[in-house]
Amino acid sequence: MDATRSQSCTAFAGSERIASGPPGDVAGRCKVLIDEGDARTLLVFDDATAEPVEIDFRGSLQDVLRRLAGDSTAAVGAGDIEANPEPPRGPGRPKLGVVGREVTLLPRHWEWLNAQPGGASVALRKLVQLAQRTNEAKDGVRRSQEAAFRFMSAIAGNEPGFEEATRALFAGARGRFEEHTASWPADVGDYARALAADAFFVGAA
């Protein structure tokens, strides 16, 4: 993951958590350690997904921070605005961010949708919203499991009880997960358990 896409991240030097927060703050702390000659492996994780965050540490600290700021600034100059004017809106439809795509259904499905109040488009949006609400808890569990497993695989694969902790994570067994991560380095275990906080939501079963 590019650092500019992360809202908050956490850096580890070996098994020690050295910084958490906005990418710029975390990058600054990492750069200081690099310049001091710290030989430990540096890994930076996005706090929401545990995806590795890529930061270019070449050059000075100012260079690192400048790249982060420059990459995250997608400013459009006045000349660009004039050269690329906003396309005209279609008649009779406000700009709502609606995206039109092809949907393939059987004739009886189209008949049912067209018979609903507001027509097919309204009915489809309501069905999607209902499915999102229904699956919200399960989706949260899945995202938490994936984030925790992604982090654990990157940094704790050689820790005792890794396999058992992984099985407990995907089985929704909080007690066993906490038991098997308790002997890990404190910062690693704490972060893994924080990422897995929503992986044991009972109501999602």
Is residue 12, in this structure, part of any structural domain at all? Answer: yes
Among the candidates 71, 101, 117, a domain finishes at 71
* Domain limit, last residue, from 71, 98, 129: 71
Q: Which of 52, 71, 90 is the last residue of a domain?
A: 71
Confidence of residue 69 (pLDDT cuts 50, 70, 90): confident
Q: How many CA atoms lie within 13 A of 116 on its CB side?
A: 15
Query: Is residue 85 in some structural domain?
Result: no
**Residue ranges making up the domain that contains 64:** 3-71
Least confident of 103-107, 119-123, 135-139: 135-139
Chain segment 13-50, per-residue pLDDT in tens: 999 999 999 999 999 999 999 999 999 999 999 999 99
* Residue 70 structure tokens: 């420059």
For residue 193, tell me if it sits in a domain: yes
Domains: count for the chain: 2
DSSP 33-61: HHHTT--SPEEEEETTT-PBPB----S-H
Instruction: Kindly state whether residue 158 falls inside one of the protein's structural domains.
Output: yes
- Asked, for residue 25, whether it belongs to a domain, the answer is yes
Tell me whether residue 174 is in a domain. yes
Does some domain include residue 47? yes
Q: One-letter amino acid identity for 185?
A: P
Instruction: Give the position of tokens 């050269």.
Output: 83
In this structure, are residues 16 and 41 in contact, taking their beta carbons and an 8 Å threshold? no
Q: Is residue 202 classed as helix, strand or coil in its secondary structure?
A: helix
Q: How much is the pTM?
A: 0.69
